[in-house]
């Protein structure tokens, strides 16, 4: 393949990637977006293998096959609730690739010190930070903020060491400061993510995703690969934009995320010890719902774990068709530990798009709702976000389900959400707890409604 044809193929691949991201912005076009991304990647890989850039197609082909098999296996096996962990792992692998390529380039005698140093620095931070984020999300280590004495001072000194070693390497080209830069960047990635609490981990994942993109840009300049530069910039910019959108949705500061001050509030319970939660049953819930005029369903992480979206849609259809109840779905921007998680699950169950509303569009309607049916959502409905300045979720906009006449919380227990904060709505006079598996409880309610 000639160089001109290779550049045209790369340009077409970049266009396909841009169209893919654009299509992924909405559930009804997401499938097309995935296909466009696949076509773009196949074109990019095929063009590269057919060019003079690859001298040993056997080893490269074997690596592609092994990588494709591993990726396909995890994509087929991973549960929807574990997608944030998988994204974190993929971010980490992208960062590690940048580190290894930068190392290989320098050891092979490359004089592009600035490009390789940038790729190594950002890639190492993305790799170690993503691995730690994966461990927190997977429950391998505590999701709570983890601090050590003078951690801010330590991070500042470590950042200065990274800058100094980077400058030393760029000026002298010596391999020793390059190794020091790699080691310090890996440690920095860990210490930046360590003090961040689980409630804020979705934003961290998005930021690390942006880091991996910018690492690819640095490596793209190092390899003189236009496609890597373009795609890396797309990933880096889209990750940064998503991070900004999420911080705005959670009423956070992006700088506070980067410097690890999230989740540092107290997670201690502010509830009185003598408060009691009222337990309800599916029969009671069905009776109240069938006599309601408006029901707002709030899906959360519990729905994703139980895979209850299909029966939830069936319950909504029965209420609407048999009892003439107005049913709407309320979605928080970060419900389910990642943006769009709930939208995807509801789209999978063929819930009409016009029945699904974001927080800003639905919040005022809770005051006119007869029933709020909350299925596994805790932190995104917690009123302490408005009243308790010591809470790690303080300032985050929440769905105001407590304003409905009756609130049903479907949970296995009174356990706290991912942020570790108690929800006082469990003990409110208009709240009933429906204990059990979300899918089973909803099935029982639907069965009663059908009768």
Catalytic residue set: 379
DSSP string computed for 33-79: HHHHHHHHHHHHHHHHHTSTT-S-HHHHHHHHHHHHHHHHHHHHH--
Measured from the Cβ of residue 4, the count of other Cβ atoms closer than 10 Å reads: 8
Which tokens hold the place of 54? 């690859």
Contact predicate 175/135, CB 8 Å? no
CB-based contacts of 41, cutoff 8 Å, min separation 6: 13
* Cα–Cα distance measured from residue 189 to residue 123, given in angstroms and rounded to the nearest whole number: 10
* Cα–Cα distance measured from residue 198 to residue 145, given in angstroms and rounded to the nearest whole number: 7
The residue whose two tokens read 């006599």 is 291
State whether the Cα torsion 190-193-197-200 is positive or negative.
negative
* Cα–Cα distance measured from residue 216 to residue 211, given in angstroms and rounded to the nearest whole number: 9
Mapping DSSP to helix (H, G, I), strand (E, B) and coil, where does residue 102 land?
A: helix
* Cα–Cα distance measured from residue 372 to residue 308, given in angstroms and rounded to the nearest whole number: 17
Question: What's the burial of 75, exposed, middle or buried (CB within 10 Å: 0-12/13-18/19+)?
Answer: exposed
According to DSSP, the residues that pair with 408 across neighbouring strands are: 373, 432
Question: What's the burial of 2, exposed, middle or buried (CB within 10 Å: 0-12/13-18/19+)?
Answer: exposed
* Cα–Cα distance measured from residue 259 to residue 402, given in angstroms and rounded to the nearest whole number: 34
**Total residues belonging to the chain:** 451
Distances (CA, A) of 123 to 91, 188, 317, 362, 380: 9, 11, 48, 40, 32
Helix axes 282-290, 438-450, angle to 10 degrees: 50
- Strands 431-435, 406-411: pairing is parallel
């Amino acid at each position: 393949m000639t160089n001109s044809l290779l550049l045209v193929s790369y340009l077409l691949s970049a266009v396909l990637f841009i169209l893919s991201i654009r299509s992924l912005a909405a559930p009804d076009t997401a499938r097309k977006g995935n296909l466009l991304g696949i076509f773009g990647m196949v074109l990019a890989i095929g063009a590269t293998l057919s060019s003079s850039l690859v001298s040993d197609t056997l080893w490269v082909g074997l690596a592609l096959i092994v990588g494709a098999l591993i990726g396909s296996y995890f994509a087929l096996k991973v549960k929807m609730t574990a997608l944030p962990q998988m994204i974190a792992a993929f971010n980490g692998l992208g960062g590690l690739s940048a580190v290894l390529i930068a190392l290989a380039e320098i050891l092979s005698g490359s004089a592009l010190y600035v490009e390789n140093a940038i790729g190594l620095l950002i890639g190492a931070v993305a790799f170690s930070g993503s691995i730690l984020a994966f461990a927190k999300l997977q429950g391998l280590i505590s999701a709570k903020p983890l601090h050590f004495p003078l951690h801010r001072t330590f991070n500042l000194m470590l950042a200065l060491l990274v800058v100094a070693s980077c400058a030393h390497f760029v000026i002298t080209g010596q391999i020793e400061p390059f190794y020091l830069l790699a080691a310090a960047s890996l440690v920095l990635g860990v210490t930046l993510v360590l003090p961040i609490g689980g409630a804020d981990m979705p934003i961290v994942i998005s930021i690390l995703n942006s880091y991996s993109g910018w690492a690819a840009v640095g490596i793209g300049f190092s390899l003189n690969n236009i496609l890597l530069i373009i795609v890396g910039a797309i990933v880096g910019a889209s990750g940064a934009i998503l991070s900004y959108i999420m911080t705005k949705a959670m009423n956070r500061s992006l700088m506070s995320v980067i410097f690890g001050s999230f989740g540092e509030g107290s997670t201690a319970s502010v509830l009185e010890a003598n408060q009691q939660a009222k337990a309800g049953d599916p029969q009671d819930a069905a009776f109240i719902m069938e006599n309601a005029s408006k029901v707002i369903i709030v899906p959360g992480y519990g729905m994703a774990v139980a895979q209850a979206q299909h029966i939830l849609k069936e319950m909504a259809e029965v209420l609407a068709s048999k009892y003439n109840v107005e049913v709407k779905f309320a979605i928080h921007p970060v419900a389910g530990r990642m943006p769009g998680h709930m939208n995807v699950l509801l789209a999978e169950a063929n819930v009409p798009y016009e029945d699904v509303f974001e927080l800003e569009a639905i919040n005022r309607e809770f005051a006119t709702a007869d029933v709020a049916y909350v299925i596994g959502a805790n932190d995104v409905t917690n009123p302490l976000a408005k009243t308790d300045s010591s809470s790690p979720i303080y300032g985050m906009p929440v769905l105001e389900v407590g304003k409905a006449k009756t609130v049903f919380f479907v949970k296995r227990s009174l356990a706290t959400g991912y942020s570790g904060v108690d929800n006082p709505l469990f003990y409110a006079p208009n709240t009933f707890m429906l204990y059990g598996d979300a899918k089973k409880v909803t099935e029982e309610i639907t069965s009663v409604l059908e009768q």
